[in-house]
Amino acid sequence: MQEVFTLKNGEELIIRQLHADDYETVMTFLSQMSQENIFTNQYPGQPKRDKEKSIQTYELPTNLFLAAFKGTGEVVGLISIMINKPGHPWTGRNASFGISMLKAYYGQGLGTYLMGKAEEWARAQGMHRIEGTVRSLNRRAINLYLKQGFEIDGVFREVALIDGQWHDEYHISKILK
């Protein structure tokens, strides 16, 4: 699948699944993205580098890695969603997602679009529930998730120490009816 998504500012991005060949541009993206915000779980500037494992993860049928590419080929945004326990008799219909983009692309509608695509994929896989975590100070992401119909399940207290202050994280989920 490949689509063109037009940002609110008129820039067109290509949206498609990651392939093995995308590994280096994804690492460049993760490195920049993780230094630009305090909301990531990546080590800032040092994305985990296990090339073979990453590539396998992109291509597993129980995962979706959907990226937004500039016309020049660089990744500027990424959403991943993975079935937590594929085939498990009781918990096999839950999937976890993560989403991020470069700062220059915030507020342009890309997050809403990518979340919609992840949900569409989860529904097609027969998922019952999609879930994630978000820092309590990440208002932009929380607003996006609430707007998409997610609810807060609960609070993980004092997970992240940022500039000398502890911050909670919320566990969020959406039941796919």
Ligand X SMILES: CC(C)(COP(=O)(O)OP(=O)(O)OC[C@H]1O[C@@H](n2cnc3c(N)ncnc32)[C@H](O)[C@@H]1OP(=O)(O)O)[C@@H](O)C(=O)NCCC(=O)NCCS
Residues near ligand X (CB under 6 A):
37, 39, 99-101, 106-112, 134, 138-141, 143-144, 147
Nearer to ligand X, 22 or 77 (CB): 77
Residue 138 CB, shortest distance to ligand X, in Å, is 5
Asked if 45 and 27 touch (Cβ cutoff 8 Å), the reply is no
Q: Smallest distance from the beta carbon of 89 to ligand X, in angstroms?
A: 30
Task: Report how far Cα 73 is from the mean position of its chain's Cα atoms.
Answer: 19
Structure tokens at 47: 């994305």
15/99 with CB nearer ligand X: 99
Q: What is the CA radius of gyration of the chain?
A: 16
Tell me the three state secondary structure of residue 17: strand
Least Å from the CB of residue 140 to ligand X: 4
Nearer of residues 91 and 112 to ligand X, judged by Cβ = 112
Q: How far is the CB of 100 from ligand X (least distance, A)?
A: 4
Between 92 and 133, name the residue whose CB sits nearer to ligand X.
133
Q: Does residue 72 sit in helix, strand or coil?
A: coil
Give the other-Cβ count within 10 Å of 102's Cβ.
Answer: 19
